[in-house]
Amino acid sequence: MYQKISMRIMILILLSFSFQLSNAQNYTYAQLDSIGKNVPVEYEESIGKLANYFQKTTDNKNYQSRLVYSWVAHHIFYDDDAFNTRVFSDQSADAVFKSKKAVCAGYSSIFKGICDAMNLTCISIDGFAKGYGYQSGMPVNGANHSWNAVKYNDQWHLIDATWGSGYAENINGKAKSKSVYNAYWFDVSAKEFVFSHFPDSANHQFLIKKHTREQFRKLVYCESNLVFQLGFNVDSILLKSQADPKFRMPDVYNLEKSSFKIKSAPYNRTIKVKTGYYFEIEQLSNDTIVLLNNQELIELDPKSERTFSKTIEQLNHGELHIGILRGEAVELIVTYKVI
């Protein structure tokens, strides 16, 4: 009798230990993104059930907040009609969960709503963002955007689920959203975040040295922070931006198609014909990374298994691009003006 009871207790202990190991599993962000994107339909009946599903998946706060970010960015779609007409529906967490449509306030609300249900410490932050329609030098008065911060491991982590869900293009004078998941806007460095986001409360910059609104306005405009995603150093950009009001970064686009990180390259958008420049690029896939000076293709030299470099002493007037070779064409990622 005692042996049977002891055996049952032992089995329960082993099952409990097994669950704890499962719940403490290490995930990659790619795995978490897949889980967040592909939640079983029965767990999407309410915020509570969704939160419970994420809590069962992991008890790691970083992982949990990534699951929330992934779910929101993949399942909530930007409400172009509301943005273009300025007629906004209910942006509460429950309303957005039901409609699956929102503007930035709704993204912030539902992100916080799910976090609250999971007992994750989360706040919504209002402020000004250099987003759709912004051009360098424009005034930055008032607030036009909302985002979030989550606290775990005694630190605040900045998150913008709206920008994580895609971006908008101007089509015939109106915003037209394109749903493209962007992992960059999860847990962004505060130093990088302040180039594009200025909160109403200075404390929500989460920086030791706070920026004023005027300093924020004068910071070089890094569209959607693409230059940081490619690997340009934030401290170098800050110093150059503060030293020279006319400093501009090279144009960056098609980032969702890029497959490399820049380790060394000119920071100025405008470069000179007879000045030597050194490029060093880390390859993240099997794509062939090249330089293109007008129509002249310049191949990089291998430096290591995944790193390629090139020193260029002479350029032709026009443009210099960093891109990906696609057959006989080049997919442009970075563009400089050569004078």
pLDDT of the residue at 137: 85
pLDDT of the residue at 291: 97
Nearest 5°: the CA angle 80, 81, 83 is 65
Q: Print pLDDT tens along the chain (339 aa).
A: 444 445 554 444 444 444 443 456 899 999 999 999 999 999 999 999 999 999 999 999 999 999 999 999 999 999 999 999 999 999 999 999 999 999 999 999 999 999 999 999 999 999 999 999 998 889 999 999 999 999 999 999 999 999 999 999 999 999 999 999 999 999 999 999 999 999 999 999 999 999 999 999 999 998 878 899 899 999 999 999 989 988 999 999 876 677 899 999 999 999 999 999 999 999 999 999 999 999 999 999 999 999 999 999 999 999 999 999 999 899 999 999 999
* Sign of the alpha-carbon dihedral angle for 105, 106, 107, 111: positive
Cβ proximity of 194 and 164 under 8 Å:
no
The model's pTM is 0.87
- Domains within the chain, CATH numbers bracketed: 27-218 (3.10.620), 248-339 (2.60.40)
pLDDT of the residue at 24: 60
pLDDT of the residue at 271: 97
The residue to which tokens 């799910």 are assigned:
114
pLDDT of the residue at 253: 84
pLDDT of the residue at 17: 41
Q: Within 13 Å, how many C-alpha atoms sit on residue 138's CB side?
A: 14
Q: Which residues contact 224 (CB under 8 A, 6 or more apart)?
A: 131, 163, 167, 196, 255
Taking the CB of residue 107, how many other CB atoms lie within 10 A of it?
28
pLDDT of the residue at 258: 76
